[in-house]
Amino acid sequence: MSERISAPRIQGIFTPNVVPLDASGAINEPELRRYVDWLIEKGVHGLYPNGSTGEFTRFSPEERRRIVKIVCQQAAGRVPVLAGAAEANVRETLAACQCYAEYGARAVAIVSPFYFKLGPESVYAYFREIALHSPIDVTLYNIPMFASPIDVPTIRRLAEFDRIIGIKDSSGDMAFMMRMMQAVRPIRPDFAFLTGWEAVLVPMLLIGADGGTNATSGVVPELTRKLYDLTRAGQIDEAMRLQFRMLELFDAMLYSADFPEGFRAAVELRGFQAGPSRQPQTDRQRIDRAALQKVLQCILADFGYVEAPAAGCPPRTGDMSQDRVCHIAATVVDELQRRGVI
């Protein structure tokens, strides 16, 4: 490795933001800018446009670049921007890297090749090509549920390239995180380790992770920032109490609708016009989403972030399917009473 110019390590809570859309499905730029300002004001350490939560595959390459440009402009240096730069092939990915460097992003995050399942040597070759030619720092993005996995030996080899400065791991596997740290930190003490799985954010920070890229921070940035600060301050008991409380919210948003629809529904509850997703929905899905949103409103009300529904909150069972049914039934009864049927 050649001697690299020291740059601040990427650390803290980076928000993989949703992209507000207008009624026609186009990017709602004023709302995205307002959302960026709000996230920064609420204390997130950085922004992460074009992540999975931002549904980057549902936008055109031109739209992805526009999203990053808007976020970089609106952040205006207040917080660093880690821009998702994954494209369908290495040539287009490098073109995105060049573009985002010009926009002022701090670094790019690049997912391992997707669609084709590749072995470790091909994954290494892909990132090696990027490391040799990227004009901007690169963080690896390991998300094995959607893309070719990046194993520890490959991460160790890639860490020898100065341009590769960290990894975001969304596996949620703490043992895997520890093995990465054990393999890489002796040769790259500046290498950043970020977790993309907020269900174990506090435990990941305790074993040495530098921060997280967490979709929940786009809904409750105050909570994720507090979890980070408490853990860093050594107030572990309080941090873990909040971590357990956050589990219900995270699970409800993640598992109760096709990702990231639950997060979009929750962002709306925080006062933003997320708009309809580009993923078409059936009538049944729209009814389920409305019921899910009421469950989320009740959870967020418990934290004090929003007002509870006017009709109140039925007791939650912990079974999201049952809780949604309760809210659907309550909604139907309210509507029938409004019409004077009952």
Residue 324 lies in a domain: no
Q: Which residue has the tokens 């009421």?
A: 294
Across the strands, what pairs with 194? 168, 211
Residue 303 lies in a domain: no
42 by Cβ neighbours in 10 Å (0-12 / 13-18 / 19+) ranks as middle
- b/e map of 145-184 (b: 16 or more CB within 10 Å)? eebbbbbeebbbbbbebebbbbbbbbbebbebbebbbebb
Residue 328 lies in a domain: no
Q: Which residue has the tokens 């549904």?
A: 55
Give the pair of three-digit tokens for residue 151.
């194993």
286 CB-near residues (< 8 Å, 6+ apart)? none
Question: Given this model, what pLDDT does residue 315 score?
Answer: 76
Residue 335 lies in a domain: no
The string of DSSP codes covering 33-81 is HHHHHHHHHTT-SEE-TTSTTTTGGGS-HHHHHHHHHHHHHHHTTSS-B
Per-residue pLDDT at 5 exceeds 70: no
Question: Given this model, what pLDDT does residue 311 score?
Answer: 79
- Write out the residue range of the structural domain in which residue 250 sits: 12-278
Per-residue pLDDT at 1 exceeds 50: no
Residue 7 lies in a domain: no
Residue 6 lies in a domain: no
Residues 60-64, mean pLDDT to the nearest whole number: 97
Give the pair of three-digit tokens for residue 137.
């720092």
| Nearest-angstrom CA–CA distance, 61 and 76 | 23
pLDDT (tens digit per residue) in 246-288: 999 999 999 988 999 999 999 999 999 999 888 988 888 887 8
Which candidate, 94, 73, 76, places its Cα nearest to that of 30?
Answer: 73
Q: Which residue has the tokens 């609420």?
A: 42
Q: Contact, 324 vs 292, CB < 8 A?
A: yes
Sheet holding 192-195, edge to edge: 46-47, 12-15, 211-213, 192-195, 164-169, 138-142, 107-111, 82-84
pTM, entire model: 0.90
Predicted confidence band at 334 (pLDDT cuts at 50, 70, 90)? low
Question: Given this model, what pLDDT does residue 326 score?
Answer: 59
Q: Contact, 306 vs 293, CB < 8 A?
A: no
139 CB-near residues (< 8 Å, 6+ apart)? 10, 82, 107, 108, 109, 110, 164, 165, 166, 167, 168, 192, 194
Q: Contact, 50 vs 84, CB < 8 A?
A: yes
Predicted confidence band at 219 (pLDDT cuts at 50, 70, 90)? very high
| Nearest-angstrom CA–CA distance, 213 and 170 | 9
Per-residue pLDDT at 332 exceeds 60: no
| Nearest-angstrom CA–CA distance, 131 and 97 | 11
Which candidate, 277, 285, 281, 275, places its Cα nearest to that of 328?
Answer: 285
Residue 309 lies in a domain: no
> How many domains, the chain?
1
Q: What is the CATH number of the domain that holds 99?
A: 3.20.20.70
Residue 1 lies in a domain: no
3-state secondary structure at position 165: strand
Residues 24-39, mean pLDDT to the nearest whole number: 97
Amino acid found at 123: V
